[in-house]
Amino acid sequence: MAFTEDLDVFFSTAGFGVSVTKGDDTGVGILDMPNEIVADGVVLTTDYKLLVKTADFTSITRGDAITVDGTDYTVREPMLMDDGKITQIFLMRD
C-alpha cells in the first residue's frame, strides 16, 4: 500500500503557517524562533528557522532576501530535510 502525503495540510495558515515571499515565489511556512543563551550565560540570542515546501521555493540560496509574516530576513542556509520535499531555512533578521 502506497502512502500519499498532503503537505498542504501541514503548511496551512489555519494552523501555525505564515505567509512567505521570496521575489515572485510565495507560499506558507512555519517559523520557529527559539531563544538560546550563549557566551557562558551572558548573551541571549534567537535562532530563526523556517520550514517550507521545497516545491514552493526551489531556487532559494544563501544571501537571498525573504519576507516571513511581514518581516524581512536574509537566508543563512537552506537545507533539504529527509526526502527533500521540505526545506529548513536558517535565517538572519534584517
Long-range interactions of 9-18: CB distance < 8 A, separation 24+: 11/51, 11/52, 11/53, 18/68, 18/69
Domain-embedded: residue 22: yes
Domain-embedded: residue 1: no
Rounded (5°) CA angle 72-78-79 = 150
Mean pLDDT confidence for 11-35: 87
User: Which pLDDT tens digit goes with each residue over 27-81?
Assistant: 999 999 866 666 676 666 678 999 999 999 999 999 999 999 999 999 999 999 9
Residue 22 CA neighbour count, 13 Å, CB half: 22
Q: How far apart are alpha carbons 65 and 89 in whole angstroms?
A: 12
Domain-embedded: residue 39: yes
Question: What total of structural domains would you count in the chain?
Answer: 1
- The cell for 54 is 521545497
For 84, the domain range is: 7-93
Domain-embedded: residue 2: no
Mean pLDDT confidence for 13-30: 90
Domain-embedded: residue 87: yes
Q: What is the CATH number of the domain that holds 30?
A: 2.40.10
- The cell for 93 is 533578521
Domain-embedded: residue 27: yes
Q: Closest Cα to residue 89, out of 78, 74, 76, 81? A: 78
- What is this structure's pTM? 0.81
Domain-embedded: residue 84: yes
Domain-embedded: residue 80: yes
